[in-house]
């Protein structure tokens, strides 16, 4: 049987990767809902009301699974990584507690009003709830990314005790919160989430346009999605550059792995595509000579620290994996910019919705930001190995001492089965909801009147 | 050691976590109880009504678990790691049950087919019951104490958790939540479902009183360390006496059909039992049955003074906000539950 370390790492990677399908969608959809409902309140047009209510239902589905799989993450720190929990509790714990009390509580309470409060509370109160849910999901991401960033670039702490009793203790709360990578990584993550949500909205809109169904509604939602996506795609170029810059400064071994750069100090190229042979420490591919030097130091001839500058036991092992994931993320990022700019141009020319081929691309493009978000995290997390807390605590030292391989194997199999089932049901129900489409108001004049109707006829399929 | 209002910081944080767990018990307790009772309702409309009675609030209630977990992680990281890794298998089952419960509520009404709804109804009841029993089992083991060596390592195995005392506590927790849930449902329903629920409330209160008596006796006889604290501070004996009075009061109010008062009392009894447990444990969190010297006290487990201070500040700012949102939510959805097109 594989070791406890390998099994625990697989389990954590699997459960977090699965969980991470949902929060970016909630965050991005939250922002789109704020825009849609805002447009409805501003214009009073039934089309915005219909698409708001349609997306609220999809939001509920996504949010529900996000919560259920997120609780697993919180408790897994304790179950599988007890030594780590003890080591970072003083710091990581406070960020997690702050997330719960400041973000999650707000999100969940207002979610109740968002989902069930339509026509029960005044429309202003409902809109306020929508905004609070969106804001809450962003705060959630903020605290979680802060906690993760501290592990990448620890700051504002000192080490107490030694060996198994060692732990990091906070000395400066704000230095810990605003550690060198917090801001860059948070902005990169949150914009990735906006892209995930807005591309889902555009994908569904494009699909209705292709099927010639609810075309007015489809175009309205597509435009909302596009307005978020084009800004986010362009901003992501900037935050991506900032993130690469912090990595070059604080985690040079990770950057070197991302570009497959081995020479301890030499001018480094930037690869468009490539392959890393980690055994012979060689990288081949199509490259921009001096590209990485320019990116990090602003000069094509400046030397960049490579992997050999770090002792072998302190640098990531899966260099090619990190390289490929990082490059896939960048390729997708550039593609998203191209796609959204093209769509905006065609929209301006009033030709967008006639381009069937582009609508087909957009219907499938929902997968692109999802993949980019996933692989970006793979590059970031595998690239900082063998450390769980950078240069302080090794992943292999962070385990629970009393947990056995049998136990982890049991839970890993359990989670695999449950998540396969969960994902199948999610895709099935999402497809059903999309196929059902938005309920279109027959009378465009009927407005949200802010009163609760006891006699609302509910959908006949819900007996 | 630094103190605030005469209490040291680890004690304060012990109170915060106690408060959060109590909040979780009081709030999620009724929706877990409602879930455990779900299959007792036979008609489709009744099932939808009882599901929607907790519809807008259950997610907010579960947040208290997330916050309590985060607070334990932050304040007593040693205990967080030791407890969760010791109860590895029970916690994994607990997490899976939480997932199934969430998706049962979410998915049930998405399709009209009979088998689909039946399947999620069963999954909902099984997961709600399972969550409650597992919580009770962990609680029972914490009251009873665990075989721990001097390195805070658990020396038992999975079967150690299934001792008669812990199993009794598991069922007492279930009976408490079922009573709590049934009283909540009675407040939220009307007509025939209401009448049916009043019978269920009566049965639940009998089940709970039986469990309560058994637990009280078992604790006095088999778990002497829980009563040490009471012997040194005799005024604390008021607490168990208060608990007995409240239990009798619930029965009286249920019989008099004063369900709002009964619900207030079932909230208080949940809180009261958890406070009894906290008083019994203090200043330890994990009691070692191998040697009392190996127990983990809040002082050995606590985070640094600076961290505790920061978090107390966070809690002081955050708690009124959470209470505010929760009140707003319950106020918005006050009164009897009605089905509409946004319902589950």
What confidence tens digit (pLDDT) does each residue in A215-240 have? Answer: 889 999 999 999 999 999 999 999 98
Residue A4 forms part of a structural domain: yes
Domain region containing A405: 1-179+401-438
- Best CA proximity match to A51, nearest among A196, A193, A223: A223
Residues on chain A touching B92 (C-beta within 8 angstroms): 79, 410-411, 414
Residue A108 forms part of a structural domain: yes
Report long-range pairs for B211-216 (Cβ below 8 Å, ≥24 apart): B211/B168, B211/B171, B211/B172, B211/B175, B211/B176, B212/B172, B212/B175, B212/B243, B212/B247, B214/B168, B214/B172, B215/B168, B215/B169, B215/B172, B216/B240
Highest mean pLDDT among A15-24, A72-81, A82-91: A15-24
CB of A401 within 8 Å of a chain B CB? The answer is yes
Residue A101 forms part of a structural domain: yes
Question: Considering chain A, what percentage of its residues have pLDDT values greater than 90?
Answer: 40
Residues on chain A touching B341 (C-beta within 8 angstroms): 456-459, 462
Residue A141 forms part of a structural domain: yes
Question: Considering chain A, what percentage of its residues have pLDDT values greater than 70?
Answer: 95
User: B42: which DSSP letter?
Assistant: -
Residues on chain A touching B154 (C-beta within 8 angstroms): 402
Q: What is the mean pLDDT of chain A?
A: 87
Mean pLDDT confidence for A74-96: 86
The partner residue sitting opposite B342, judged by closest CB among A69, A72, A116, is A116
Tell me whether residues B88 and A160 touch, CB distance under 8 A: no
Tell me whether residues B342 and A118 touch, CB distance under 8 A: yes
What is the tally of structural domains in chain A? 1
The partner residue sitting opposite B80, judged by closest CB among A85, A422, A429, is A85
Query: Nearest-CA residue of chain A relative to B17?
Result: A97
CB of A413 within 8 Å of a chain B CB? The answer is no
Tell me whether residues B59 and A108 touch, CB distance under 8 A: yes
- How many residues make up chain B in this entry? 344
Query: Nearest-CA residue of chain B relative to A436?
Result: B110
A312-363 pLDDT per residue, tens: 888 888 888 999 999 999 999 999 999 999 999 998 988 888 888 999 999 9
Residues of chain B with pLDDT under 50: none
Lowest mean pLDDT among A31-35, A77-81, B229-233: B229-233
What is the tally of structural domains in chain B? 1
Domain region containing B36: 7-333
Tell me whether residues B67 and A120 touch, CB distance under 8 A: no
The verdict on pTM exceeding 0.90 is no
How far, in Å, are A104, A105, A191, B36 from residue A100 at the CA level? 5, 6, 22, 27
* CB count in 10 Å sphere of residue B230: 17
Q: Residue A445 — very low, low, confident or very high, per pLDDT cuts 50/70/90?
A: very low
Q: For chain A, what is the HEC assignment?
A: CCCHHHHHHHHHHHHHHHHCCHHHHHHHHHHHHHHHHHHHHHHCCHHHHHHHHHHHHHHHHHHHHHHHHHHHHHHHHHHHCHHHHHHHHHHHHHHHHHHHHHHHHHHHHHHHHHHHCCCCCCHHHHHHHHHHHHHHHHHHHHHHHHHHHHHHCCCCEEEECCHHHCEEEECCHHHHHCCCCHHHHHHHHHHHHHHHHHHHHHHHHHHHHHHCCCHHHHHHHHHHHHHHHHHHHHHHHHHHHHHHHHHHHHCHHHHHHHCCCCCCEEECCEEEEEEEECCCCEEEEEEECCHHHHHHHCCCCCEEECHHHCCHHHCCCCHHHHHHHHHHHHHHHHHHHHHHHHHHHHHHCCCHHHCHHHHHHHHHCCHHHHHHHHHHHHHHHHHCCCEEECCCEEHHHCCCCCCCHHHHHHHHHHHHHHHHHHHHHHHHHHHHHHHHCCCCCCCCCCCCCCCCCCCCCCCCCCC
Tell me whether residues B304 and A462 touch, CB distance under 8 A: no
Tell me whether residues B98 and A173 touch, CB distance under 8 A: no
Mean pLDDT confidence for A398-413: 88
Residues on chain B touching A462 (C-beta within 8 angstroms): 48, 109, 112, 341, 343
Q: Residue A442 — very low, low, confident or very high, per pLDDT cuts 50/70/90?
A: low
Tell me whether residues B56 and A117 touch, CB distance under 8 A: yes
| Helix (H), strand (E) counts: chain B | 13, 4
What is the pLDDT at residue B273?
86
pLDDT of A453 > 60? The answer is no
Chain B interface disruption, residue of A93, A96, A150, most B CBs within 10 A: A93
Residue B343 forms part of a structural domain: no
What is the pLDDT at residue A417?
94
pLDDT of A162 > 90? The answer is no
Q: What tokens appear for A43 in the block?
A: 């214009």
Mean pLDDT confidence for A134-152: 92
Residue pair A119/A452 in contact (Cβ under 8 Å)? The answer is yes
For residues B133 and B169, give the distance between their C-alpha atoms in angstroms, rounded to a whole number: 8
pLDDT of A461 > 50? The answer is no
What is the pLDDT at residue A316?
86
Residue A304 forms part of a structural domain: no
The partner residue sitting opposite B103, judged by closest CB among A116, A170, A422, is A422
Quote the minimal CA–CA distance from B39 to chain A in Å.
17
Residue A450 forms part of a structural domain: no
The partner residue sitting opposite B66, judged by closest CB among A104, A113, A401, is A104
What is the pLDDT at residue B332?
82
Quote the minimal CA–CA distance from B256 to chain A in Å.
30
pLDDT of A374 > 50? The answer is yes
Residue A185 forms part of a structural domain: no
Quote the minimal CA–CA distance from B262 to chain A in Å.
25
The partner residue sitting opposite B332, judged by closest CB among A117, A160, A456, is A117
pLDDT of A452 > 70? The answer is no
Residue A322 forms part of a structural domain: no
Q: Residue A29 — very low, low, confident or very high, per pLDDT cuts 50/70/90?
A: very high
Q: Residue A24 — very low, low, confident or very high, per pLDDT cuts 50/70/90?
A: very high
């Amino acid at each position: 049987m594989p070791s406890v370390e390998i099994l625990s790492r697989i389990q954590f990677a699997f459960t977090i990767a699965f969980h991470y399908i949902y929060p970016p969608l909630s965050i991005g959809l939250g922002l789109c809902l704020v825009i849609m409902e805002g447009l409805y309140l501003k214009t009073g047009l039934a089309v915005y009301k219909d698409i708001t209510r349609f997306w609220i239902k999809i939001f509920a589905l996504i949010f529900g699974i996000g919560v259920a799989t997120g609780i697993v993450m919180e408790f897994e720190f304790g179950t599988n990584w007890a030594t780590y929990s003890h080591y970072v509790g003083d710091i990581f714990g406070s960020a997690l507690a702050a997330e719960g009390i400041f973000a999650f509580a707000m999100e969940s309470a207002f979610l109740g009003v968002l989902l069930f409060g339509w026509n029960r509370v005044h429309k202003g109160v409902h809109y306020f709830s929508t905004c609070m849910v969106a804001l809450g999901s962003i705060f959630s991401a903020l605290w979680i990314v802060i906690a993760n960033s501290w592990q990448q670039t620890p700051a504002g702490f000192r080490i107490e005790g030694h060996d198994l009793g060692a732990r990091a203790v906070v000395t400066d709360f704000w230095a810990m919160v605003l550690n060198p990578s917090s801001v860059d990584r948070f902005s990169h993550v949150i914009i990735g989430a906006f892209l995930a949500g807005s591309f889902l909205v555009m994908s569904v809109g494009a699909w209705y346009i292709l099927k010639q169904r609810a075309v007015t509604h489809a175009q309205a939602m597509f435009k909302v999605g596009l307005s978020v996506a084009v800004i986010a795609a362009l901003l992501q170029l900037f935050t991506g550059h900032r993130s690469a810059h912090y990595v070059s400064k604080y985690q040079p071994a990770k950057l070197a792995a991302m570009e497959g750069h081995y020479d301890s100090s030499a001018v480094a190229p930037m690869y468009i595509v490539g392959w890393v042979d980690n055994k012979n420490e060689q990288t081949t591919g199509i490259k921009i000579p001096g590209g990485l030097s320019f990116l990090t130091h602003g000069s094509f001839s400046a030397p960049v620290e490579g992997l050999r500058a770090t002792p072998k036991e302190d640098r990531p092992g899966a260099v090619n994996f990190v390289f490929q994931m990082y490059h896939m993320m960048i390729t997708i990022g550039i593609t998203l910019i191209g796609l959204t700019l093209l769509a905006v141009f065609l929209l301006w020319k009033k030709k967008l919705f006639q381009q069937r081929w582009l609508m087909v691309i957009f219907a499938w493009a929902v997968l692109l930001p999802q993949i980019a978000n996933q692989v970006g995290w793979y590059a970031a997390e595998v690239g900082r190995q063998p450390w769980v807390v950078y240069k302080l605590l090794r992943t292999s030292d962070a385990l629970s001492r009393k947990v056995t391989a049998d136990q982890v194997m049991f839970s890993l199999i359990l989670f695999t089965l449950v998540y396969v089932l969960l994902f199948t049901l999610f895709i099935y129900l999402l497809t059903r909801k999309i196929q059902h489409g938005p309920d279109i108001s027959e009378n465009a004049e009927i407005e949200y009147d802010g009163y609760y109707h006891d006699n609302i006829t509910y959908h006949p399929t819900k007996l | 050691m630094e103190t605030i209002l005469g209490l040291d910081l680890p004690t304060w944080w012990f109170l915060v976590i106690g408060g959060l767990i109590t909040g979780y018990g009081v709030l999620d307790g009724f929706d877990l109880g409602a879930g455990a009772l779900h299959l007792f309702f036979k008609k489709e409309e009744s099932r939808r009504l009882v599901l929607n009675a907790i519809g807008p609030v259950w997610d907010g209630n579960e947040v208290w678990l997330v916050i309590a977990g985060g607070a334990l992680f932050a304040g007593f990281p040693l205990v967080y790691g030791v407890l969760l890794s010791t109860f590895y298998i029970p916690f994994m089952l607990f997490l899976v049950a939480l997932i199934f419960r969430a998706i049962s509520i979410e998915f049930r009404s998405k399709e009209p087919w009979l088998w689909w709804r039946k399947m999620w109804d069963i999954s909902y009841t099984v997961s709600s019951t399972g969550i409650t029993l597992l919580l009770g089992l962990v609680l029972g083991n914490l009251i009873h104490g665990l075989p721990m060596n001097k390195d805070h390592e658990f020396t038992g195995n999975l079967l150690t958790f299934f001792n008669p005392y812990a199993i009794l506590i598991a069922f007492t927790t279930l009976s408490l939540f079922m009573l709590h849930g049934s009283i909540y449902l009675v407040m939220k329903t009307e007509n025939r479902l209401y009448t049916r629920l009043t019978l269920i409330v009566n049965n639940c209160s009998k089940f709970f009183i039986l469990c309560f008596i058994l637990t009280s006796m078992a604790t006095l006889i088999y778990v002497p360390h829980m009563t040490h604290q009471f012997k040194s501070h005799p005024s604390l004996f008021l607490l168990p006496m208060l608990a007995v009075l409240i239990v009798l009061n619930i029965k009286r109010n249920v019989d008099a059909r004063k369900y709002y008062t009964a619900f207030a009392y079932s909230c208080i009894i949940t809180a009261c039992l958890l406070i009894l447990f906290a008083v019994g444990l203090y200043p330890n969190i994990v009691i070692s049955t191998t040697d009392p010297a190996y127990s983990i006290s809040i002082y050995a487990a606590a985070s640094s003074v600076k961290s505790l201070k920061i978090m107390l500040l966070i809690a002081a700012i955050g708690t009124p906000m959470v209470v505010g949102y929760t009140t707003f939510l319950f106020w918005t959805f006050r009164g009897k539950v009605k089905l509409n097109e946004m319902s589950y």
